Every structure is written in structure tokens, then in C-alpha cells.
Amino acid sequence: MFAQYDDIVNIEDCCEMLNIGRNKAYELLQTCQIKSFKVGGKAYRIP
């Protein structure tokens, strides 16, 4: 199902994979419902 995506994705790919908007994706990241880490203090990466 997610074979076309890399092992670590950015927020745009996450939105596309889950069929959700950016605001909802950031909400899920901030409430730790989706594991993530920040790169450069700004950009999220989702394993």
C-alpha cells in the first residue's frame, strides 16, 4: 500500500498517504499520535 513512499517521509507525503489536510497532520504530530522527529528545528520527518 505504501510501497511507493520512502521509509522516512515529509509532511506532504504523510498528508497524501493518510488522505488528510496539513492542519490535521500537524495536530496528529503535536499530540504524538504519529511518531516523528524534527530536522533543523523546523521540518518534521515521519518514519
Distance of CA 27 to the CA centre of its chain: 11
Low-confidence ranges of the chain (pLDDT < 50): none
Task: Write the CA distances from 24 to 3, 4, 38, 39, 46, integer angstroms.
Answer: 23, 22, 17, 20, 15
Q: What is the pLDDT of residue 15?
A: 96
Three-state secondary structure call for residue 24: helix
> Looking at the domain assignment, is residue 18 inside a domain?
yes
Q: What is the pLDDT of residue 3?
A: 87
> Looking at the domain assignment, is residue 1 inside a domain?
no
What range defines the domain where residue 35 resides?
A: 11-45
Measured from the Cβ of residue 47, the count of other Cβ atoms closer than 10 Å reads 10
> Looking at the domain assignment, is residue 15 inside a domain?
yes
**Of 28, 29, 23, which is closest to residue 45 (Cα–Cα)?**
29
Q: What is the pLDDT of residue 1?
A: 78
Split into its structural domains, the chain has a count of: 1
DSSP 25-39: HHHHHHTTSS--EEE
Q: What is the pLDDT of residue 41?
A: 86
